Every structure is written in C-alpha cells, then in structure tokens.
Amino acid sequence: MTMQQIDARALRDAFGAFPTGVTVVTARDAAGLPIGFTANSFTSVSLDPPLLLVCLAKTSRNFATMTGATHFAINVLSETQKDISNTFARPVEDRFATVEWSGGADGCPILADVAAWFECAMKEVIDAGDHVILMGRIASFQNSSHNGLGYTRGGYFTPMLASKAVSAATDGNIELAAVVEHEGEILLLGDDILSLPSCEGRDGSPTDILSGYLQELTELSVTIGFLYSVYEGKSDGRHHIVYRAFASQGEPRQGKFLKPEALSRARFKTTSTADIVTRFALESQIGNFGVYFGDETSGTVRPVSTKVARA
C-alpha cells in the first residue's frame, strides 16, 4: 500500500502485528484525584539519563491533564491483570475503585501486583501528528517477579502460561492446529464435516512447524499469533495445541474462510473443534480472547484477573 493509498484502519491493523506489553499510565489531576488509562505505545528510551516515553492521543479525555502534569507513572501489567487493562481502556467513571493501588513518592498512583512500575518527572511533551509523546525522566521504579501481559492483533496473550503449556504437552503425542483468521472469517477444511487445519507435531518449534504447514496448505502468507487452546484428547490420547493465526488476502489453495457466527448448525469432525469455533465466535464479538487449558470435555480459560478489588 503506497502513501497515497494508506487507509487508517488498515494501518492500525498493520501496527497491531507488533506484539507489545500492556501498561496503565497514571497521574493526578489539578484537584489531586487519580487518573489513568491503558496504553501499549510505551518504550524505554535511555539508561543515562533514565528516560522512557508513552504516546497519548490528542482526542483522549486525559489529554489536558496528562500534558499539564508534572509527574506520571507507567504500570506494566502482569499476566493475571487482563481485567485491569480492560477497566482502564473503557470510559468507566471511577476506574480506581476497582483496583488496589497506592501513591508513589511523587504522588502518582502505583497499581498493586504489576510486573514493574516507573514513576517519572515530565521532561518533555512532543507534538507527533494526532498524538503527543510524553517523555519522562524516571525518578523511581520497581521490578517484580511477575511476567508481563502481552497484546497483539487485538487480543491478549500470556507468554509464560503459553510456554508452560507447550512444554507440558511435548512429552506426549502432539497435534498442532490453528484458528486461521482473515477479516472476521476463519479457515475450515471439508465440505459436509468441517475441521480446523492441523498437522502432527514433531521435534522443533511448534510455531515453525505449524507455519510451514499452513503456508503449504493455503499458499497464502500466514502469521502465527498467540496460543489459543491446549487440551488433552481423551478419545485419541493426543495433546492438542491450537494457535490463532492470521492469513493474507486471497483464496486459500485448500479449505474456505467462513464466518464463525454462522456455523451454529454446521457439522464438525470433533466436539472439540465445535467448541473452539463456538468460543471463538463469542470472543470475537466481545473482543476479549483467552487461552483454554484442560481436556476435550472440561477446562478453564485464562488469563483471569485474580485481584480482589479495593475501593
């Protein structure tokens, strides 16, 4: 796509291919009340002097307060804090009533149980198109033992949980599969009886094996996303590892893209496949994806915030 043809939505989706962490940026307004919002446009800048930055949309309801603040804090959310990310991303009137937090040395709200936090003095506010860049000089920080929450292509992922799940499954007979998406549709194989594209796991990286299989199957460009389901098949004795994946424009060499919400009467190869498609249709509607762990009949979807809210 050339500069003359750039579509803002398509550009945003392309930016979303880059996996990031998830933060909550906090400060206090002129009355001393806490404010905060979810942001993934955060990065380190310098060790000497210690600098970081975060980008803020000029349309943000927090724009005036943040650009006028003398201090702000970056809270890097942990793997179990997806609910906090959602709370601070929505127009909730009192976001801080549902989380546990305390004031930092310079008064900025510091959330409990985050992966890391940084309290900063505002060094510079830089104009940048439809955003501004908030450059902060780090005054204090803390790094915990928690792993960070990840975000890519409109969904959360949990790196440590995914790694542990894959490691646990490698001791057995493995089948790799994917929910391959394109413009709200997913790739399914078969005519009367539908199935997800899948291949046998073997020595090597599961994502590399699956990627190669999907590229050959579809003859499209396919990007492997984050882990979607890990379950033990009691009926076949295999460990099943299912990833989300994203396909480029075009018709696949095999299979067809179908809207998941229109498949309520479809016949699937296994009940597990039907459950995955049904769950994906629901999660797509609410824009909130998780990772399933269990067997083909019962299990749990994580991450789920385990933090008890405090007013």
When mean pLDDT is compared across 72-81, 202-211, 283-292, 301-310, the lowest value belongs to 301-310
**pLDDT by residue (tens digit) across 73-118?**
999 998 888 889 988 988 777 889 889 999 999 999 999 999 999 9
Residues paired with 35 in a beta bridge: 27
- d(C-alpha 24, C-alpha 36), whole Å: 6
Rounded distance, CA 220 to CA 131, Å? Answer: 35
Architecture of the domain made up of 156-302: Alpha-Beta Complex (3.90)
Q: Which of 96-100, 108-112, 264-268, 295-299 has the lowest mean pLDDT?
A: 295-299
Instruction: Please give the helix or strand (H or E) that residue 32 lies within, else none.
Output: none
Could you tell me which of 56, 51, 80 has the C-alpha nearest to residue 67?
Answer: 56
Q: Where are the alpha helices (DSSP H) in the chain?
A: 8-15, 63-68, 82-89, 159-169, 206-218, 271-286
Size (the chain), residues:
311
DSSP category for residue 146: P
Q: What average pLDDT does the structure give for the chain?
A: 85
Report which DSSP code applies to 90.
Answer: S
Instruction: Give yes or no on whether 3-152 and 156-302 have one common fold.
Output: no
Q: So what's the pLDDT on residue 236?
A: 78
The amino acid sitting at 259 is K
- CB-count burial class (<10 Å; 0-12, 13-18, 19+) for 67: middle
Topology (CATH level 3) of domain 3-152? Pnp Oxidase; Chain A (2.30.110)
Kindly list the domain boundaries of the chain, sorted by start residue: 3-152, 156-302
- For residue 12, report the phi and psi dihedrals to the nearest 5 degrees: -60, -40
